[in-house]
Amino acid sequence: MSFEPLKNDTFLRACLRQSTDHTPVWLMRQAGRYLPEYCATRAKAGSFMGLATNVDYATEVTLQPLERYALDASILFSDILTVPDAMGLGLSFAQGEGPKFAHRVRDEAAVNALAVPDMDKLRYVFDAVTSIRRALKGRVPLIGFSGSPWTLACYMVEGGGSDDYRAVKTFMYSRPDLMHRLLQINADSVAAYLNAQIEAGAQAVMIFDSWGGVLADGNFQTFSLAYTRRVLSQLHREHAGVTIPRLVFTKGGGLWLDDMSDLDCHALGLDWTVNLGKARALVGEGPQGKALQGNIDPNVLFASPEQIDVEVARVINSFGRPHQGAGTGASHIFNLGHGISQFTPPENVSALVDAVHRHSKRIRQTGAH
Q: Please give the residue ranges that form the binding site for a second copy (CB under 8 A).
A: 163-166, 169-170, 173-174, 213, 215-220, 252, 254-255, 272-275, 296-297, 299-300, 302-304, 307, 311, 314, 318, 337, 341, 343
Choice between 179 and 204, CB closer to a second copy:
179
Answer yes or no: 57 catalytic.
Answer: no
181 belongs to the catalytic site: no
Q: Which of these is catalytic: 9, 13, 17, 29?
A: 29
Active site residue 33: yes
Q: Where are the alpha helices (DSSP H) in the chain?
A: 10-15, 36-45, 48-52, 55-68, 82-84, 108-112, 123-136, 149-158, 166-174, 176-200, 219, 226-234, 257-260, 276-283, 305-319, 346-366
Helix (H, G, I), strand (E, B) or coil at 5: coil
CA 38 to chain centre: 19
Beta carbons within 10 angstroms of residue 114's beta carbon: 19
Question: Least CB distance from residue 257 to a second copy, whole Å?
Answer: 10
Which residue, 161 or 286, has its beta carbon nearer to a second copy? 161
CB of 273 to a second copy, least distance (A): 6
Nearest to 62 by CA among 49, 48, 47, 52: 52
Radius of gyration of the chain (CA): 20
CA 206 to chain centre: 5
Minimum CB separation of residue 307 from a second copy in Å reads 6
Which of 77, 220 has the CB closer to a second copy?
220
Which of 113, 235, 208 is CA-nearest to residue 152? Answer: 208
The CA–CA distances, whole Å, from 258 to 263, 268, 280 equal 10, 12, 11
The one catalytic residue in 34, 38, 57, 155 is 155
42 catalytically annotated: yes
Between 24 and 337, name the residue whose CB sits nearer to a second copy.
337
SS3 91: strand
Q: Which of 9, 79, 85, 309 is catalytic?
A: 79
Minimum CB distance to a second copy smaller for 144 or for 252: 252
Q: Is 290 exposed, middle or buried (0-12, 13-18, 19+ CB in 10 A)?
A: buried
Give the whole-angstrom CA distance, residue 217 versus residue 221. 7
The nearest distance, CB 216 to a second copy, in angstroms, is 4
Q: Minimal distance in Å, beta carbon 205 to a second copy?
A: 26
List own/partner pairs for 275-282 with CB under 8 A and 24 or more apart: 275/318, 276/315, 276/318, 276/319, 276/332, 277/318, 277/319, 277/320, 279/254, 280/319, 280/320, 280/330, 282/257, 282/258
- Nearest alpha carbon to residue 65 among 33, 42, 96: 33
Annotated catalytic residue within 42, 106, 280, 321? 42
- In the chain, the N- to C-terminal Cα span, in Å, equals 43
Smallest separation, CB 163 to a second copy (Å): 8
Q: Please report how close the Cβ of residue 151 comes to a second copy at its closest, in angstroms.
A: 16
Measured from the CB atom, the residue of 119 and 303 that comes closer to a second copy is: 303
Sign of CA dihedral 48, 29, 164, 112: positive
Q: Which residue lies nearer to a second copy by CB, 8 or 341?
A: 341
Active site residues: 29, 33, 42, 79, 155
